[in-house]
Amino acid sequence: MNITKFEDFAAEAKKMPKKAVVAVIQAQDEHTLDAIVNAKKEGIVEARLYGLTDKITELLKEVGGNPADFEIIQADSEEAAIAAAVADINAGKASAIMKGKLDSANFLRAVVSKENGLRGSGKLSLVGFYDPKVYHKLFAVSDMGMNTTPDVDGKKAIITNAVGLLRKLGIDKPKVAVLSESEKVNAKIPASVDAGAIKEAWAAGEFAQDAIIEGPISFDLATDAGSAVIKGYSSPVAGDADLLIVPDVVTGNVLVKCLTGIAKTNTAGTILGAKIPVIMTSRSAEASDKFYSIALAALASQA
């Protein structure tokens, strides 16, 4: 597998011998169905749609889909849709889960609930991919949405999740930048202390040996080889990062909204750490973002 641009997510997903099946909870949402219909037409995924059958059927027709191409499971309430989807996932009828027209907190509660059996043994984390025109390749960011202020162990788990996905996508030894404001550990800046501890743990062989981890490192050094030359900074990660680890959710949220807003990058994301990939795109996400997120989740669902 060789992922170098967003179109590759879809191209590689098409090659999968067994298509991922996405369980869409409360599927009576036009933008979600538009993305699902396109993904189905492109041969990327199959889908099971849970919610109000009449409304789902109506919206499928409006976005150019054929209701006969989908399994639609009637659910009179949000709770019923969640219960039916969870049961089907646990029965092996679906290999990814997607949020439709329901509150994000309720959707995530369904994923993390011990009773539902969807949560894995590790930490849940969100990873997103971006393609700014001034950078030479796709890169990923984590965690900008699930973990608010993770500690060192939390960040190790976030790195482990993301590195596992990057390796599935064909990056044999991802270059990981644990971000802070500079490349030096400063006792007054907790993010730099965490980053230094993470690099030390990695260097000692404690985790993620299938990656190259650098930290603390600033955003410019991680993404701009010219800045590294000017500052006399040497690292295999400098100017070539595959994965940026943000110190907290505020930093991550600002970064990715700058990337998608001012920089107008494409994006695709998935939540890792559950037994199956979780698709929970923003309500304001472009249709293309949802489409590529579905393709990414299909690839992430591989064994």
Range of the domain at 189: 125-260
Q: Mind listing the pLDDT tens digit for each residue in 129-152?
A: 999 999 999 999 999 989 999 999
Instruction: State the pLDDT at residue 199.
Output: 97
Assess contact for 280 and 107: CB atoms under 8 A.
yes
pLDDT in tens, 175-226: 999 999 999 999 999 999 999 999 999 999 999 899 999 999 999 999 999 9
140 and 160 part of one domain: yes
Asked if 194 and 157 sit in the same domain, the reply is: yes
Q: Which pLDDT score is estimated for 302?
A: 79
pLDDT tops 60 at residue 227? yes
Quote the mean pLDDT of the chain: 93
Reported as a single tens digit per residue, the pLDDT across 240-299 is 999 999 999 999 999 999 999 999 999 999 999 999 999 988 766 677 888 999 999 999
In a domain? residue 268? no
**Are 37 and 61 within one domain?**
yes
What DSSP character marks residue 115? G
Instruction: Answer for the pair 93, 20: CB distance below 8 angstroms, yes or no.
Output: no
Same domain assignment for residues 186 and 296 = no
| Residue 118 near residue 110 (C-beta atoms within 8 A) | yes
Looking at the structure of the chain, the number of domains it has is 2
Q: What is the largest CA-CA distance in the chain?
A: 63
In a domain, 265, yes or no: no
pLDDT for 283: 66
**Residue 228 clears pLDDT 70, i.e. is over it:** yes
What pLDDT sits at residue 195? 97
Residues 55 and 155 in one domain: no
- Kindly tell me if the per-residue pLDDT of 84 is higher than 90: yes
- Residue 303: is its pLDDT beyond 60? no
Same domain, 110 and 156: no
CATH code at 164?
A: 3.40.718.10
pLDDT in tens, 43-58: 999 999 999 999 999 9
Interhelix angle 287-300/152-168, rounded to 10 degrees, is 90
What does the buried/exposed string (b/e) look like for 80-114 if buried means 16 or more CB atoms within 10 Å of the residue's CB? Answer: ebbbbbbebbeeeebbbbbbbbbeeeebbebbeee
Whether residues 19 and 116 share a domain: the answer is yes
Residue 269, domain member (yes or no): no
pLDDT of residue 120: 80
pTM, to two decimals: 0.91
Contact (CB, 8 A) for 89 and 61: no
